[in-house]
Structures are given as C-alpha cells and as structure tokens.
Structure 1
C-alpha cells in the first residue's frame, strides 16, 4: 500500500540526463527524506513527483484522490509588496479565517497572521509556506530543502514541527534535505540520490552504507550520534530546557 510509487523514472533536461531508472515508494504516514550532493537531481525528482516535469521514461503512480501539499525551496517575495501572512494564505483560493488560524497554529506560527510577509524571518516564512501547504489537508506533504538558510536549531525545530504534523494528521512526508545530521533523526527512511538511487533504508543503515560514505564521507556519523543524543533528551522530562 503506497500513497505514491515511482518506477523506472528517467528525466532529461535538454540533452542532459538528470535522473535515470529511479524507483521509490512512499507509504501512508511515513517520513522519507531524500539526500544527495548538489546536482544529484533532488529538486528535479520533486518536480516530476508533483507533475511539474514530464519524465522521458518511467511512471509516477499516485493513490486515487491523493492530495499533495507542497512547500517550495524558497519564495521570492517583493519586499515592497504589502501583504500580510493571512492574506498570502488566501492566494490563489480564498480561505476562511478558522482554517487559516488552524494552519498557522499547526505550522508553529500562530501569531504572524497580521505580519507583513516582507517582515517575517526566514524561519517564519518557511512555516507560513508550510501552513499554506497544510490548508489542502494533504495525504502527502512534499518539502524541497525547507530549512535552507536556517541555522541548526531553527532547522531542528522545523523538523520537530513536521514530526508533530505527521503524528496529528497521519500524512506521509517526503523531504529533500542537505541537513544530513539533523534530518536523519526525523526520518523513518532515507533515500540517497545521485542521478539514481544509490542506497536507501533506515537512517543508520544509510549512514553506514559505502555508497553514502563515498558521497558524503564519514563526518556525519558523529553528528548523527550527537543529534540523536540531544533528540532523546528533548523527550526527557529530566531535561525540560533542552528544546
């Protein structure tokens, strides 16, 4: 049972073959993270999954009636454009106030509705984009490098929010990330991409896989252990201030 399945996917841009023979499945309620070096085709894969790119070969099968919420890598906002976060949520379709309040609350920014988009911090803007994606009550939430430009505590906090959303709504999550050490702890499964799927599995399996180490070295192993240690304490009542 999968919400989305990919088989034999090839994507070309002009004469360049960006992805070849990519296969993956996303099951209901799981958090899957795609990691890979720059130029490995991560964003191209996301664009193929949401239907923005036509593959040269292969197929993407979506569960019937699948609703996808999409959080782009970043949003170029004209700083001179007067628009509040609340008004932004109502584009392109009007959204009632209760739904907007609920979405901002779920995304962890309940009080920014009246704030101008141009005045939001990077982290707040990403969460407003997340709130907008949640308005469609998605079965699958797709996030393309959502924490780019955030510091490590900001990124860790964002991923905790994603885990909370998954727990509350039961939606599946597919993330593209370069925050290896942070994202590993928030993932049920990691897919390492470099034009094709190099390896996949539980975070620990992938972190120790030779294909992964060939791409990223072994430095993330220590960071992974450190993050897991902190993550364990963050659920520990004996460390109330570790959030």
Structure 2
C-alpha cells in the first residue's frame, strides 16, 4: 500500500504549466529522491503533496490518517530573539510538556545535546538537524525534505543524509526529498526520480545515473556523479524502466 500517490498530476501557475502528467508513489519505509534543474517543478510537487497547491488536473491520494513531517529549505529565526532549542521545539503544534517528545525527537535527529542552546548560536548543520527534529516530533509516516541541506558544505550534507537514513532505519518512516547534491544524496536513495516539468526517468540510482535523459540534464562529469551502494532491500524496487535491477555497490567516479 502506498502512503501517497500522485496520479497524472498537472500543476499550473496562471497560464504556465509547471508539472505535466506526473505519476509518483511512495511506499512505507523507502527513500525517494527527486532531482532536476532549477525551475523543474520539484518544490511545487512537494507543495502539492502536502495540499498547499491544488492540481489543475490529476489528484493526490494520501493514505488514511497519514502523518507528514516537513523540513524546509531554510527558516529564518530572528537572531536577537532569545529562543532555546527546547523552546523552539515546543512551539510545534501538539507538543505537550512532560511527554519526552522533544528530547526523543532531538535524539533521533542526533542533536540531543543542543536542547538548552540558543537557536541563534547554532551552526548551519545543527540548525538543519533541529528542523529535522521538529519534523520528527509527530512521528511522521512520511518525511518530506525540500533541499534541506542548502548552504551546508559537502561533509555537512553527507552527515545530514546519513542521519536521514538512520531515522528511516529507526522509525520506519518513508522519505521523499529534493536535492541538488546528486553526488552526495544518491547513496541514501532507494529510488530516484528525475524531473524537468515531467518525469524524465526514474529507477534505482544506478539506472538513473546511466539514463540518457539524466545525462542530458546533468552531464557525465563529477558534478553529476552518484555515490552508489547496495541496500539489502533494493531487490524489492523495480527500476521504473522494466528492468527490476538492483543497484550494484560501487562509487561512480566519472
């Protein structure tokens, strides 16, 4: 059973078609990464998934009782505002005192030690981990990330995505994320969808890395290289092109 299904989704802004006839589903426990150039409709797709955009045609079907956690690209917090991490977390809807939910979410995001720190004093990586913790506080079935490592260096991004995979392992939640860091994030993905106003290609990271449509958009140099390794459950996922092949353990170094 899918957690969320986008069925023949078309989105328009005014007379502009942003996405055309997109089909996408996310099943429990999988990590799906959306890649594509600027203006390809990636963020619009996530906004439609959470109900913030109404499709021009097609529909979004969510599993009954689906709980979604969302990590934005960035969030501005006034640096002059005295706001601890603990207080910031408790501003999330539905958080009650004395439940241990804040501490558990911070621990899951790998930042339990930051509970008493001021938000203004956090590094970029720490700040994004706190945003992740805030998204996890409701124990979501589906976690959405919209280029959540924007502004972090490569090491910080890699550490963040490793944490996402750990969260998936610990909680069983599914993840649908957008990234521009193809060489970093693909190693944590079960399935990749290449978007450019429509679905250009999809499948395991290895299948997408070798697809002509992907290479036409991103080239074959290191800027488009994908770090790949085998997941134990890769064999469960069809490559979307009829091959059903699992990703082989290797690092692309073209």
Label 1:221 to 1:123 Cα distance change in 2 as closer, same or farther (>3 A): closer
Structure 1 residues not aligned, in runs of 5+: 230-243
Are 1:122 and 2:134 counterparts?
no
Instruction: For residue 222 of structure 1, report the CA deviation from its aligned partner.
Output: 7.8
Instruction: For residue 76 of structure 1, report the CA deviation from its aligned partner.
Output: 1.3
- In the alignment, which residue of structure 1 is the partner of 2:169? 167
Distance in 2 (alpha carbons) for counterparts of 1:124 and 1:175? 19
1:7-26 mapped onto 2 (5 Å cutoff): 7-26=7-26
**Aligned structure 1 segments of 4 or more residues deviating by more than 2 angstroms:** 92-97, 220-224
Give the aligned length.
227
- In the alignment, which residue of structure 2 is the partner of 1:152? 154
Where relative contact order (Cα < 8 A, 6+ residues apart) is larger, the structure is 1
- In the alignment, which residue of structure 1 is the partner of 2:37? 37
Query: Taking structure 1 as the reference length, what is the TM-score of the superposition?
Result: 0.90
Distance in 2 (alpha carbons) for counterparts of 1:11 and 1:106? 35
- In the alignment, which residue of structure 2 is the partner of 1:236? none
**Which deviates more from structure 2 when the two are superposed, residues 95-104 or residues 184-193?**
95-104
* Contact kept in structure 1, 2:11 and 2:55, CA below 8 Å: yes
Query: Taking structure 2 as the reference length, what is the TM-score of the superposition?
Result: 0.86
1:90-239 mapped onto 2 (5 Å cutoff): 90-93=90-93, 94-97=95-98, 98-220=100-222, 223-224=225-226, 227-228=227-228
Structure 2 residues not aligned, in runs of 5+: 230-254
More helix per residue: 1
* Contact kept in structure 2, 1:5 and 1:61, CA below 8 Å: yes
Instruction: State the SS of the aligned residue for 2:82.
Output: coil
Instruction: For residue 223 of structure 1, report the CA deviation from its aligned partner.
Output: 3.9
Instruction: For residue 221 of structure 1, report the CA deviation from its aligned partner.
Output: 8.0
Instruction: State the SS of the aligned residue for 1:118.
Output: helix
- CA deviation string 1:117-147 (max 9, x = no partner): 1111111111101000001110000000011
User: What is the aligned-residue RMSD (CA, Å)?
Assistant: 1.4
Label 1:92 to 1:158 Cα distance change in 2 as closer, same or farther (>3 A): closer
Distance in 1 (alpha carbons) for counterparts of 2:80 and 2:31? 37
Label 1:24 to 1:220 Cα distance change in 2 as closer, same or farther (>3 A): farther
- CA deviation string 1:68-127 (max 9, x = no partner): 001111101111111111111111433335111111110011111111111111111111
Label 1:213 to 1:222 Cα distance change in 2 as closer, same or farther (>3 A): closer
Are 1:80 and 2:80 counterparts?
yes
